[in-house]
């Protein structure tokens, strides 16, 4: 069980277990992984229609262009992290020549979708998650957020 899921790199790197759950407090990230699991083709389609543009980036970041559904919400979240410096979603850092276009990055969505198919995806505080899942044979992987960066994780 990955308590602070983030990019869910532990889940994607390990063998499947009988029962699996990942968690993160960031609802945008959780929505992204649910959409990757359930609607990877729809997410890919939305991303393929998006232009690489500082203006688009800023419109999404400032919520001038608000998503109309969970698929667009996931696409916008992914766009911000894939088109920003350090994947922080704060400063546009990519350009069309970089080769790091959203449509070039979605290729893993189908692989990720298959891997997430039997995984429970939670959006709980770590305290609640541990209370809910704590059993004798539960293994919790806790890679905590960086100190004084808590606001980055709770958008």
DSSP state of 118: T
Domains by residue range for the chain, with CATH: 24-146 (1.10.1020.10)
pTM of the model: 0.81
Contact 142, 130 (CB under 8 A): no
Tens digits of per-residue pLDDT, 98-152? Answer: 555 555 555 678 888 999 999 999 999 999 999 999 999 888 888 766 677 666 6
Q: Supply 142's token pair.
A: 């806790």
Spatial separation of the C-alpha atoms in residues 94 and 99, rounded to whole Å: 9
What is the b/e burial string over 32-62, where b = at least 16 CB atoms within 10 angstroms of the residue's CB?
bbebbbebbebbbebbeebebeeebbeebbe
pLDDT in tens, 6-60: 888 888 888 998 888 899 999 999 999 999 999 999 999 999 888 888 999 999 9
């Amino acid at each position: 069980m990955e308590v602070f899921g983030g990019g869910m790199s532990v889940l994607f790197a390990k063998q499947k277990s009988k029962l699996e759950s990942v968690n993160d407090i960031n609802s945008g990230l959780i929505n992204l992984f649910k959409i990757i699991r359930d609607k990877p083709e729809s997410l890919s389609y939305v991303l393929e229609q998006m232009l690489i543009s500082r203006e688009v980036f800023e419109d999404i970041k400032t919520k001038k262009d608000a998503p109309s559904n969970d698929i667009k919400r996931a696409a916008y979240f992914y766009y911000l992290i894939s088109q920003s410096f350090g994947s922080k979603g704060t400063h546009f850092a990519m350009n069309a020549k970089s080769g790091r276009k959203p449509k070039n990055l979605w290729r893993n969505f189908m692989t990720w979708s298959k891997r997430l198919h039997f995984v429970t995806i939670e959006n709980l505080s770590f305290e609640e998650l541990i209370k809910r899942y704590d059993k004798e044979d539960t293994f919790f992987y806790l890679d905590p957020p960086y100190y004084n960066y808590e606001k980055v994780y709770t958008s």
